[in-house]
Structure 1
Amino acid sequence: MWKIEVEAVSTYDFDYTLARWSMDPLTSLNRKERWVNVPVKLGDRPYVVRVIGHGTVESPVFEIRGESEENKEELIEHIYKLFRWDRDLDEIHRHFLNTSLKSLFNNYPGTPIVKDFHLYDCLMKVIIHQQLNIKFAHILTKRFVEQFGFQRDGVWFYPQPEVIAELDYNQLRELQFSQRKAEYVIDTSRLITRGELDLQGLAEQSNEEVMKKLVKIRGIGPWTAENWLMFGVGREDLFPRADIGIQNALKRYFELDNKPDYEQMDQQSVGWEPLRSYASLTLWRSIEG
């Protein structure tokens, strides 16, 4: 076993990340002991890396542990980029002190955007989750991964796109997928395996280019594309106006009689650019549990 210790460059609320992940039954973690087991795929090789929080929000320190020296440096780099410990969240906090969200950010300092474990996993998750309540969305995703993915050291790995591309739609229907959602998941996986959808290449393009290309794919709308950009790629200026959670959070925060429409949301979000993803995440946080 190897282990190293790293520090984040600013305030960082690791416990919030654990709390958010704890809603997903597929994630292997312990909130009391403050660790999460991260499934990492490098090529065709699966690894499990444990990340442990030792510090506080104000002085965040993390320990990374792995089982094998093989690809150690790549694994460390992957984890560092995933948790984005190099992002100065104090700078983001200062930005929002000059906006209408000042008190919200004072209530929830150090809220990081931690990326999902892998680009394909994230895309499958947001396609499955779209237009479902969160509880059933997690149930459906759990069935999908347990049926077609695999475990290593008690940690679940999402299936590879090649596995899903070979499925018949009825195999997902048996898990309570709707016919359309089964088609979206399998057909998108087929595009990836045929080389018609390159997620890694797409992740290097601008938000506008990504949105334009993804929404052309059947079953992927703006909400799905925006969430993939935010949590799969880690983009910082996304504001999914169609998200019911964000609408409810705005209604509560601004003490509105009704959920805001798109025009009101655009007015309320003036000055949040170019960091609207942090506004979105912190708004979600304000109404979670």
Structure 2
Amino acid sequence: MLKQFNHSNYHSICDKLAQSDADLANIIKAHGYPPLWSRPNTFETLVHIILEQQVSLASALSALNKLKEYIQEITPARVLLLKDEEFKACYFSRQKTTYTKYLAEAILSGQINLTELEQLSDDVIRTKLTALKGIGNWTADVYLMFVLQHADIFPIGDLAAVNALKRVKSLPKETTREEVIAIAEKWVPYRTVASMLLWHYYLSARTPAPPSPPRKGGL
């Protein structure tokens, strides 16, 4: 059975995490509950996540909005009508142009069906997504967490989440990936919601706060 979170159980999951982890409890005490960040399960959303790879949220959103302004609706069919020069005019790098076109072709050919992914397990979804050019574990993590709202994902490739964990746990900067993963294991089966709390902490320390978690991950 898939473990998911939604508006009806989100705060109660936060409370469960707070009961078992004093550092997460302190985040809620200081900053309140984190927003329930979510995105629709669409081609446009996946393009947006691809754009966010290794850049700021602001620049990714700027490129997405420029593309939307240019073609009105971001669909696989419309994207594939564009030439590389037109992508470049919408602030897409050559690499992300390639990834976006490949994703569009995969959806139109039936290689990937976003609606069908909603019924599959984390591992199967990850396997299907990472088989696509330009999509790695970080992109799959963001999709699982924000789009499908699967409850037990920790995005180890996400710098904001990892750095926030180190800060709230007072860990040295040289703390290893394996040590971070071991700490996150204590939040099973709600590692996604714990990550939301970490992002909430990260954002609350910054002014002004952007509308959604800052992420600089890999593919």
Per the shorter chain, which TM-score range?
A: 0.7 to 0.9
After TM superposition, list the pairs within 5 Å mapping 1:129-144 onto structure 2.
129-144=52-67
| Contact persistence 1:108–1:282 (CA under 8 A) | no
| Aligned pair partner of 1:197 in 87, 98, 112 | 112
| Aligned pair partner of 2:139 in 195, 206, 224 | 224
| Contact persistence 1:84–1:114 (CA under 8 A) | no
Structure 1 residue runs without a partner (length 5+): 1-82, 151-158
| Aligned pair partner of 1:145 in 60, 68, 72 | 68
In the alignment, what sits opposite 2:11? 89
- Shift in CA distance, 242/140, structure 1 to aligned 2, threshold 3 Å: same
Matched, 1:128 2:43: no
- Shift in CA distance, 264/122, structure 1 to aligned 2, threshold 3 Å: same
| Aligned pair partner of 1:180 in 91, 95, 98 | 95
Alignment deviations for residues 62-118 of structure 1 (CA, whole Å, 9 cap, x no partner): xxxxxxxxxxxxxxxxxxxxx933325224312332125332243344335342134
1:268 CA displacement: 1.7
Structure 2 residue runs without a partner (length 5+): 207-219
Match of 1:209, SS state, is helix
After TM superposition, list the pairs within 5 Å mapping 1:64-83 onto structure 2.
none
In the alignment, what sits opposite 1:215? 130
- Structure 1 or 2, whichever has the larger Rg, is 1
In the alignment, what sits opposite 1:101? 24
Give the aligned CA root-mean-square deviation in angstroms: 2.0
Letter matched to residue 270 of structure 1: E
- Shift in CA distance, 134/114, structure 1 to aligned 2, threshold 3 Å: closer
1:175 CA displacement: 2.1
User: Structure 1 or 2: larger helix share?
Assistant: 2
| Contact persistence 1:115–1:231 (CA under 8 A) | yes
Q: 2:118, 2:85 → 1: CA distance? A: 31
After TM superposition, list the pairs within 5 Å mapping 1:250-265 onto structure 2.
250-258=165-173, 260-265=175-180
- Shift in CA distance, 223/271, structure 1 to aligned 2, threshold 3 Å: same
Match of 1:204, SS state, is coil
Q: Among all aligned residue pairs of Structure 1 and Structure 2, give the percentage whose two residues are the same amino acid.
A: 25
User: Structure 1 or 2: larger strand share?
Assistant: 1
Detail structure 1 runs of 4+ shifted over 3 Å in the superposition.
105-110
Which of 109-118 and 229-238 deviates more? 109-118
- Shift in CA distance, 258/192, structure 1 to aligned 2, threshold 3 Å: same
- Shift in CA distance, 259/247, structure 1 to aligned 2, threshold 3 Å: farther
Q: 1:246, 1:265 → 2: CA distance? A: 10
Q: TM-score, normalised by structure 1?
A: 0.63
| Contact persistence 1:165–1:189 (CA under 8 A) | yes
1:169 CA displacement: 2.5
- Shift in CA distance, 259/167, structure 1 to aligned 2, threshold 3 Å: farther
Match of 2:58, SS state, is helix
Q: 1:145, 1:191 → 2: CA distance? A: 20
Alignment deviations for residues 162-203 of structure 1 (CA, whole Å, 9 cap, x no partner): 211322233212222111100101110111112221011012
In the alignment, what sits opposite 1:248? 163
